Amino acid sequence: MRGQHDIYVEENPYIYKHKFQSIFQLSSHPIALFFFFLFRFLAILTYLFGFLIFHDFILIFILIIIFLAFDFWTVKNVSGRLLVGLRWWNETNSEGESIWIFESADPQNKQNVTDSRIFWFILYLVPVIWAVFGIIAFLKFNFLWLIVIIIALLLSGGNALAFTRNEEIRICLLCF
């Protein structure tokens, strides 16, 4: 005999049907979502635990920068386009001026709610994490680590800023 809770769970698409269902199963683009997480958290984990494995600042620095670069490119060119339908880039015109170009998917194409929520949450969370690391490094006088953290903040914060601006423009265009 099934209870009222079981019927509610079966009829509600937003509740996990079984304990192994994950955000990757709810995602329209699980591979893009995986790589969206992967490079960001590899950089953070390398920052936190790199000395336990490598005992070499230069190697850890290089690994973090590589993960940050992969993350920046992946979010900017792949994850943003697939998960929220946004992409941006910068061009230089003939006068040498920098021009920001923002691209958004057709508004008729509905975005997956899971993809969108996770994208925006993680996009804003990661720069906050790096900022906290920066405050801690500053208070501990670990100024070499501040170089890594500033680079991380510039890359992750730059992506967050560009995607936020892109979303604002998309919303403004939808209003007209």
Interval 45-71: pLDDT, tens? 999 999 999 999 999 999 999 999 999
- Report the alpha-carbon distance of residue 81 to residue 162 in Å, rounded: 13
CA distances to 3, 15, 21, 26, 113 from 10, rounded to whole Å, are 11, 8, 14, 15, 19
Residues 79-84 have a mean pLDDT of 94
Residues 5-10 have a mean pLDDT of 49
User: Which comes out higher in pLDDT, residue 110 or 162?
Assistant: 162
Residues 162-168 have a mean pLDDT of 92
- List of residues 6+ apart from 10 with CB closer than 8 A: 17
User: Which comes out higher in pLDDT, residue 131 or 96?
Assistant: 131
- Report the alpha-carbon distance of residue 57 to residue 89 in Å, rounded: 32
pLDDT, tens only, 103-135? 988 777 788 888 999 999 999 999 999 999 999
- Report the alpha-carbon distance of residue 30 to residue 37 in Å, rounded: 11
pLDDT at 19 over 50: no
pLDDT at 149 over 70: yes
Tokens 């265009």 correspond to: 173
User: Which comes out higher in pLDDT, residue 96 or 146?
Assistant: 146
